[in-house]
Amino acid sequence: MSLKNNILNDDEIFLKEFLKKFYRQVLKIENFTKYENILKEWVKDFLKYNEKSPEIILKLMKEHEEKENWFSSIIGFFYEHDIAI
């Protein structure tokens, strides 16, 4: 397997994990008046912890073949809250 395929596979795994954990974070929120701030900080912390650039992750989500089904809401969230803009 080439290095490029490994990188693409790593990105795919990361995106799936990010999607799953974002969804779980939404379900855990109890303070709905602050949910946007809670999610915004969680996204920034998650990406920082995983040493991922928000700009790169946004690009990967936008270019993913399942972007409309899996990532459209998160992409909108990134734009609405100026994450990676």
State the DSSP code for 50: T
Q: What is the pLDDT confidence band of residue 58, given thresholds at 50, 70 and 90?
A: very high
Q: Can you tell me whether residue 37 is helix, strand or coil?
A: helix
Cα four-point dihedral sign 14, 66, 20, 56:
positive
Residue 4 has pLDDT above 60, yes or no: no
Round the average pLDDT of the chain to a whole number and report it: 88
